[in-house]
Structure 1
Amino acid sequence: MPADDMRDPEGLMAPEDYARSRAVFWGGAAVLFTDALGRVLVLDPAYRPGKLLLPGGGVDQAERPSAAAVREVSEELGLSVAVGQLLAVDWVSRGNPEFGKVYGFPGETVSIWDGGLLEESDIAQIRLPEHEITSFHFLPPAQAARRMRPIERRRMLAALRARIDRAGPAVLEDGETVGLGQALQRWDVVPRIATGYQDIAWHPAMEPAAGLPVKQAWVWAFDPLGRVVVLVDPRDGHIVLPGGTVEMDDNGPKAAALREAAEEAALRLHDAAYLGYLLDPDGAVYGPGTGANARARYIARIDSLGPAAPDVATGITYGRLLVSPAQASELLGLGCAGAEQAEYAARTAAARWGIPLSPPQAAIEIPHTGMAALLP
Structure 2
Amino acid sequence: MSALHAGDPAAFAVDVLDEGPAELEFVPGVASSRPTKTCAGGALIRDSAGRVLFVVPAYKTVLDIPGGMTEDNESPKAATIREIREELGLDVELGPLLVVDWTPRNGVWRDCHQFVFDGGVVNGAVAHDPELSGVAYLTLDEAKPKIYPSLHRRLTLAVAALESGSARYAEFGREV
Aligned to 1:128: 128
Q: 1:57, 1:16 → 2: CA distance?
A: 30
Q: 1:64 aligns with which of 75, 83, 86?
A: 75
User: TM-score normalized by structure 1?
Assistant: 0.39
Q: 2:44, 2:102 → 1: CA distance?
A: 18
Pairing 1:1-376 to 2, within 5 Å after superposition:
3=23, 14-17=27-30, 19-20=31-32, 22-49=34-61, 51-94=62-105, 99=106, 101-102=107-108, 105-118=109-122, 120=123, 123=124, 126-130=126-130, 132-167=131-166, 169-178=167-176
Q: 2:102, 2:150 → 1: CA distance?
A: 11
Answer whether contact 1:146 1:153 (CA < 8 A) is retained: no
Q: 2:110, 2:138 → 1: CA distance?
A: 32
CA drift of 1:143 comes to 1.0
- What code does the residue aligned with 1:153 have? H
User: Which consecutive aligned stretches of 4+ in structure 1 deviate over 6 angstroms post-superposition?
Assistant: none
Q: 1:68, 1:81 → 2: CA distance?
A: 12
CA drift of 1:145 comes to 2.4
CA drift of 1:20 comes to 4.5
CA drift of 1:36 comes to 1.1
Aligned to 2:9: none
SS in 2 for 1:16: coil
Q: 1:70, 1:170 → 2: CA distance?
A: 21
Gaps of 5+ in 1: 179-376
Answer whether contact 2:99 2:161 (CA < 8 A) is retained: yes
Q: 1:113, 1:21 → 2: CA distance?
A: 32
Answer whether contact 1:128 1:134 (CA < 8 A) is retained: no
- What code does the residue aligned with 1:115 have? G
Q: 2:171, 2:35 → 1: CA distance?
A: 15
CA drift of 1:156 comes to 1.5
User: TM-score normalized by structure 2?
Assistant: 0.79
Q: 1:129, 1:157 → 2: CA distance?
A: 27
SS in 2 for 1:113: strand
CA drift of 1:4 comes to 7.4
SS in 2 for 1:70: helix
Structure with the bigger RCO (C-alpha within 8 Å, sep 6+) is 2
Percent identical pairs in the alignment equals 34
- What code does the residue aligned with 1:150 have? P
Q: 1:174, 1:24 → 2: CA distance?
A: 18
Q: 2:100, 2:94 → 1: CA distance?
A: 15
SS in 2 for 1:162: helix
Q: 1:109, 1:15 → 2: CA distance?
A: 27
Aligned to 1:325: none
CA drift of 1:128 comes to 2.5
Task: Return the structure number with greater helix share.
Answer: 2
Q: Structure 1's 16 and 59: CA in aligned 2 closer, same or farther, altered over 3 A?
A: same
- What code does the residue aligned with 1:155 have? R
Structure 1, residues 301-336: CA drift from partner, whole Å, max 9, x if none? xxxxxxxxxxxxxxxxxxxxxxxxxxxxxxxxxxxx
Structure 1 vs Structure 2 CA RMSD? 2.1
SS in 2 for 1:27: strand
Q: 2:101, 2:91 → 1: CA distance?
A: 25
Structure 1, residues 80-121: CA drift from partner, whole Å, max 9, x if none? 111110010111223xxxx4x33xx33211111110111x4x
